Structure 1
Amino acid sequence: MPHEMNFGNPISVAPLRGTQIGQAFPLVREVAPSLMFEQWIRIASPLTREDKFDRRGILAATVASGHLYGLCLYRVEPLKSPKPLVAHYLAAFGIGQQAPVARSLVAAIDSLAFRLGCEIIQTSVASSQRSVRACLEAAGHRIRQVEFSKYIGDPEDDQMPARYTDLSWLEQWRRGDDISSAAKRG
């Protein structure tokens, strides 16, 4: 069902089909740059198979030509309270216009959550997806927590922000030492 127009092309949001997995890879790489194609296939393949309860899947935003402009992975966690629809890797792209795609995805997520009887929507968005964040906020979604990430990898990697982080407190904590007194000494 079209929600928005992108340069005159109606945007439709529907479940990603198995035949679109390869086409979706460049989109997901924008929000998960370290993801390899083989990993994406392993992640996406089960999510594109029919789930009669609609508990998990991938939503894809396309235009009439079939080109993908956005996607998100979702799952329902029925045992949590309030029952959430969790949407990850929400990404929207467009030539000069990301907002119509983002609005379409957000509207589809809201509609899906309502249809599935979810009580809350939890969404994670890459920091590069500013238009998605703006559309979420405009649709009534609010920030409830902020997630921080730190790359832990090869100490010789120039991309690593903090090469020598002191984690001695963690070892002390594991042993049961009083880390408050160690902090006072340090």
Structure 2
Amino acid sequence: MDDGFIAKPLAKRQIDQAYPLVRAVAPGLEVAQWRAFAGALIGRPGPSVAPSGIMTAQNGHGYIHGLFSYTRDQHLHHGPILSVENFIVLDLFDPAAAAATLLRAMDAVAKALGCSAIHTNLAGPPVAPPQPGGGMLDRFREEGHAPEALRLCKRLARANDNNALDSAVRAD
């Protein structure tokens, strides 16, 4: 069960606390880079959900067991979307529960921001099947591009309910 985790926006005072979690999946990341990245995404606390931020899964003692960064963007096919990056979960005993907490928070943030879809980039190159005669991916590779993530899309019913986070996310 995930009763032990709660989704909360990362507060400015927690940026350094989250660094070891991020460093576990990005070993070369310097603390100054993380501080600049997180500081740029985290807005001032307010009554509504910020259009960009970092959401965490925390236990009852405030320890961070997972996080994701997000921005509200526009997409040609979906209109307003929630773009999610840096989905990280590190919990020795129940990583699925921490991930479930973050996934529910992702839905709540998207709904609060009036998004019609969530695009999530998961780290790690996807495996693309070879295409006879070469394909689009081959052309990109020839030009120096390399897969770095797998992008997932979840379509949502469009809603603009700023109270959607009340049940899934608590502000700091």
TM class by shorter-chain length?
0.5 to 0.7
CA RMSD of aligned residues (A): 2.4
Task: Choose between structure 1 and 2: higher strand proportion.
Answer: 2
Aligned with residue 56 of structure 1, among 52, 55, 62: 52
Larger radius of gyration: 1
- Percentage of pairs with the same residue: 30
The whole-number CA distance in structure 2 between the counterparts of 1:118 and 1:86 is 10
Which SS does the other structure have where 1:77 is aligned?
A: strand
Q: How do residues 78-97 of structure 1 correspond to structure 2 at under 5 angstroms?
A: 78=74, 80-82=76-78, 83-97=80-94
Q: Which moved more, 1:87-96 or 1:50-59?
A: 50-59
Deviation beyond 3 Å, 4+ runs, structure 1: 78-81, 145-148
Higher relative contact order (CA 8 A, sep 6+): 2
The separation in 2 between residues aligned to 1:99 and 1:48, in whole angstroms, is 26
TM-score of the aligned structures, taking structure 2 as reference length: 0.66
Name structure 1 gaps, 5 residues minimum: 128-144, 149-168, 171-186
Q: Distance in 2 between matches of 1:23 and 1:4?
A: 21
Structure number with higher helix proportion: 1
Unaligned runs of 5+ in 2: 129-141, 144-172
In the other structure, the counterpart of 2:39 is 45
Tell me how far apart the structure 2 counterparts of residues 110 and 33 of structure 1 sit (CA, whole Å).
29
Partner of 1:4: 2
State TM-score, norm by structure 1.
0.61
Q: C-alpha distance in 2, partners of 1:41/1:71? A: 15
The answer as to whether partners of 2:81 and 2:119 remain within 8 angstroms in 1 is yes
Q: How many residues align?
A: 127
- Aligned 1:162-177 pairs, distance under 5 A: none
Q: Label 1:53 to 1:111 Cα distance change in 2 as closer, same or farther (>3 A).
A: closer
